[in-house]
């Protein structure tokens, strides 16, 4: 049997690699996706082979991640439950897709992941596999009772590695878990399981990696311009950039000014609530600026239709249905809605805030001559016409009031 494992080189995936190999008597192929986590990848190949892998793939997927996953999601305006920018959620289908590509190339029988049986990631990995490669077996050790019995805690994992000669550096467990990529970094579990605990208190300052605390951010605001073409940001401060370049630049600018921090209690797909803390500096700026250019260039009814679908689109990403027919259908509508979303937005970053400081577009639908409170030189709008407009819209309300005895 040949199995492709999502591998990071840490304690958990090192144990998984060895345990799966032993249980299934399998050839193990390790896969590490570089999606902007900035973890140390040097020496990973040697470590994977010493742990029992026959081969290690390390793929830089950052540009694809930004171009084909983050940017389409930004165009859709997707935010889960009004707060979460979906940084972890949007990364999982890309990782799973690449694992499947490797499994096909290697003629593997299965893919394996280290997601727990309580979280969302297991669903995201496996729904992607179901949609893209339904014939591939998926191995999820954390849902295997024998695995959980053997490794009830970190101490047992460390002991296992020592007995097998697996090269892992055992360190004291952090009081929370974290996951980083180009879009964000997330923190959960441990001390964060108490929703009353203030994650942004000065005592937790060292937890954050991408952003300064707003209190420590510069005392002077910074102005940033973003140029959009058909709903995608193509330049920052006048400098043309690829999607990856946009994300890196905005992460740096946003992080400096402490923007994009979120602390929320969210509803997991598996049925429980969980508390998550997120840093999304670049994504927050991009989402905000994209909305501003849409306000200038998008037709009202198109905007309201698209906005009505934002919760549904966000759920599809969060739940793991990126490769579902309904997400493709929604994306087609989103793409159509973005054809005229072109122009420039200027934002002001200051002490954790993102504020609009100007918008302009060659295809702006805003006409100051029509909107003015002064006399309209174009005579495009006759204020007297509003009388009939209001009368017609009021008709059903008047009828209902009379019938229901409200007069």
Nearest to residue 284, comparing CAs of 74, 140, 93? 74
Catalytic residue among 177, 242, 307, 312: 177
Instruction: Name the burial class of residue 323, with classes exposed (0-12), middle (13-18) and buried (19+) by CB atoms within 10 angstroms of its CB.
Output: middle
Instruction: Note the helical H segments in 25-120.
Output: 44-51, 62-65, 71-75, 87-106
Strand, coil or helix: what is 229? strand
Number of neighbours of residue 40 by Cβ within 10 angstroms: 7
Q: Give 168-173's long-range contacts (Cβ < 8 A, gap of 24+).
A: 168/10, 168/11, 168/14, 170/11
Q: Is residue 45 annotated as a catalytic residue, yes or no?
A: no
Number of neighbours of residue 18 by Cβ within 10 angstroms: 19
Residues forming beta bridges with residue 354, ordered by sequence position = 349
Listed in sequence order, the residues at least 6 apart from 382 whose beta carbon sits closer than 8 Å to its beta carbon are none
Catalytic residue among 121, 124, 211, 261: 121
Catalytic residue among 8, 12, 18, 275: 12
Nearest to residue 216, comparing CAs of 226, 206, 230? 206
Evaluate whether 269 touches 279 at the Cβ level (below 8 Å).
no
Instruction: Note the helical H segments in 107-233.
Output: 121-132, 145-150, 154-164
Q: Is residue 92 annotated as a catalytic residue, yes or no?
A: yes
Sheet holding 273-279, edge to edge: 177-180, 185-188, 273-279, 261-267
Q: Is residue 12 annotated as a catalytic residue, yes or no?
A: yes
Catalytic residue among 92, 124, 180, 275: 92
Length of the chain: 407
Known catalytic residues are 12, 92, 121, 177
């Amino acid at each position: 049997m040949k199995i492709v494992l999502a591998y990071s080189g840490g304690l958990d995936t090192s144990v998984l690699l060895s345990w799966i190999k032993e249980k299934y008597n399998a050839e193990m192929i390790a896969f590490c996706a570089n999606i902007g986590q900035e973890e140390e990848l040097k020496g990973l190949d040697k470590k994977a082979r010493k742990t029992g892998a026959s081969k290690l793939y390390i793929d830089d997927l950052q540009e694809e991640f930004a171009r084909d996953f983050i940017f389409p999601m930004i165009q859709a305006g997707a935010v889960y439950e009004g707060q979460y920018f979906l940084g972890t959620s949007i990364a999982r289908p890309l990782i799973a897709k690449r694992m499947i590509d490797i499994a096909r190339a290697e003629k593997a029988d299965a893919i394996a992941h280290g997601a727990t049986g309580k979280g969302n990631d297991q669903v995201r990995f496996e729904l992607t596999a179901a949609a893209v490669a339904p014939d591939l077996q998926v191995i999820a050790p954390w849902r295997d009772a024998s695995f959980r019995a053997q490794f009830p805690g970190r101490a047992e994992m460390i002991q296992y590695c020592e007995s097998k000669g697996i090269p892992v550096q055992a360190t004291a467990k952090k009081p929370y878990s974290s996951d980083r990529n180009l879009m964000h970094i997330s923190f959960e579990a441990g001390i964060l399981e108490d929703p009353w605990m203030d994650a942004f208190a000065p005592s937790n300052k060292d937890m954050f990696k991408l952003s300064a605390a707003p209190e420590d951010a510069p005392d002077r605001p910074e102005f940033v311009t973003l140029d959009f073409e058909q709903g995608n940001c193509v330049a920052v401060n006048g400098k043309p950039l690829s999607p990856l370049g946009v994300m890196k630049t905005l992460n740096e600018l946003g992080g400096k000014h402490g923007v994009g921090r979120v602390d929320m209690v969210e509803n997991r797909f598996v049925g429980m609530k969980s508390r998550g803390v997120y840093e999304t500096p670049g994504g927050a700026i991009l989402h905000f600026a994209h909305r501003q250019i849409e306000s200038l260039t998008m037709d009202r009814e198109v905007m309201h239709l698209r906005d009505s679908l934002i919760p549904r689109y966000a759920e599809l990403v969060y739940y793991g249905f990126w490769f579902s027919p309904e997400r493709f259908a929604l994306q087609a509508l989103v793409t159509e809605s973005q054809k005229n979303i072109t122009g420039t937005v200027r934002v002001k970053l200051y002490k954790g805030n993102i504020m609009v400081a100007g918008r302009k577009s060659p295809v702006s639908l805003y006409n100051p001559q029509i909107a003015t409170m002064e006399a309209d030189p174009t005579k495009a709008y006759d204020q007297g016409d509003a009388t009939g407009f209001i009368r017609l819209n009021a008709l059903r309300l008047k009828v209902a009031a009379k019938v229901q005895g409200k007069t």
